[in-house]
């Protein structure tokens, strides 16, 4: 049983590291927090166990924070890509030189 736990922990760490490479550490960390609302939904569907409204409010805050952080990170990445494109186009020399 210990081997199963070790392998699952290793796989989750590899998945986390890969996700960091694809996005950013903040998006991945906040994304891991979405397990809170998912567990509430799982309890509701599997065990037919309901939770008080304050738990659902907290789950909504977690989901909204993930959406907000993801949106902000995408905007930052787009702005950085645009700066790189602007720098590349301003430093590029003309391909053809016209003779006078």
Supply the pLDDT for residue 98: 58
Which residues of the chain fall below pLDDT 70? 92-100
Which pLDDT value is given to residue 14?
94
pLDDT the model gives residue 45: 92
Percentage of the chain modeled with pLDDT above 70:
91
Residue 44 in any domain: the answer is yes
In a domain, 10, yes or no: no
Q: pLDDT digits over 4-15, tens only?
A: 889 999 998 999
70-85, pLDDT tens digit by residue? 899 888 888 988 888 8
Measured CA to CA, the distance from residue 44 to residue 51 in angstroms comes to 8
Report the 10 Å Cβ neighbour count for 49.
10
Structural domain includes residue 85: yes
Residue 48 belongs to some domain of the structure: yes
Distance between CA atoms of 99 and 56, rounded to whole angstroms? 71
State the residue range of the domain holding 52: 24-91
* Ordered alpha helix ranges (H), 1-100: 2-22, 25-32, 35-46, 53-91
Is residue 58 situated within a structural domain?
A: yes
Per-residue confidence (pLDDT) for residue 93, from 0 to 100: 57
């Amino acid at each position: 049983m210990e081997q199963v736990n070790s392998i699952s922990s290793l796989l989750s760490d590899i998945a986390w590291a890969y996700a960091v490479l694809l996005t950013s550490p903040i998006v991945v960390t906040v994304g891991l927090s979405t397990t809170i609302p998912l567990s509430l939904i799982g309890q509701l569907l599997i065990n037919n166990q309901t939770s008080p409204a304050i738990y659902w409010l907290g789950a909504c805050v977690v989901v909204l924070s993930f959406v907000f952080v993801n949106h902000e990170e995408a905007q930052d990445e787009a702005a950085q890509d645009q700066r790189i494109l602007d720098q590349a186009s301003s430093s590029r020399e003309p391909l053809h030189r016209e003779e006078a």
